[in-house]
Amino acid sequence: MADNTTINAAAYDSKGKKSNLVALPPEIFDGTINMPVMHQAVKAYLANQRQGNAATKTRGFVIGGNQKPWKQKGTGRARQGSTRAPHWVGGGTVFGPTPRSYAQYVPRKVRALARKSAFNARARENALFVIDTLSFDAPKTSQLLGLLQTLGVAGKKVLILTNGVNHNVYMSGRNLPTTHVMPFSDVSTYHILWSDVVVVEGSALGAADTHAATAEETEVKAAPAKKKAARKSATKTAGRKTAAKKTVAKKSTAKKAAAKKTAAKKKGK
């Protein structure tokens, strides 16, 4: 359920020095935590990572076994037709796996709700930190590791979200096994729940807030346009029906007139 209270997060500067608390944007951090939706999103994400290459051979695909191993009768043995039957060593597999797709589709709004729920869950656990800026002149793993040690999260699974693609920060964290760096716009529910701590660049939160407001404005503007289009289509449909009725009435009138003329001619004869 959504709460009306403002959620705050700990804020730090680029060197890891703590500053005042910062209010998180209410468009994302409104207290909503929907567990079933998060479960669905993570399950679909993991399923979509599968290649589905597992394959086995049935008796029809195993080489050999074309000849009957011994004659049908007279040997005292059980009758056999092929050495590649499933009960033979080296035979085919029954009901084994075959290549298939494990892909699962999750609607866009459900994915957005799951992502919002994951962010709110980390924020409620006080596991979301806001960094002023992440500015690295060059890729340097020791510099990023020092920043994480200053924040006190060096031994935890850390997800660092940057404002757009930041190559230097990504290269700095690529060699750290428990650190994952990615743009804020690309993060998924799985990545947020995988991490113990989420470190977000302050400008990324501002961009996300602007994006959410723009999306809402677009939806609000699109609603009247959709209503107008529906009205126009309804008017056109009504006009077509009226024209069709007039055409039918004209045809019926013409038929009646022709029938009267024919009857009059017959009487005259």
pLDDT at 250 over 70: no
pLDDT in tens, 175-215: 999 999 999 999 999 999 999 999 999 999 876 555 554 44
Q: Which pLDDT band, with edges at 50, 70 and 90, does 16 fall under?
A: confident
**Domains within the chain, CATH numbers bracketed:** 8-34+110-208 (3.40.1370.10)
Query: What DSSP designation does 228 have?
Result: H
Query: What DSSP designation does 6 have?
Result: P
Q: How many CB atoms lie within 10 A of CB 3?
A: 14
Specify the pTM.
0.72
Q: Which pLDDT band, with edges at 50, 70 and 90, does 240 fall under?
A: confident
Buried b (16+ CB within 10 A) or exposed e, 97-131: eeeeeeeeebeeebbbbbbbbbbbbbbeeebbbbb
SS3 state of residue 226: helix
pLDDT of amino acid 127: 94
* Spatial distance between the Cα atoms of 15 and 143, rounded to a whole number of angstroms: 10
pLDDT at 15 over 60: yes
By CB atoms closer than 10 A (0-12, 13-18, 19+), residue 172 is buried
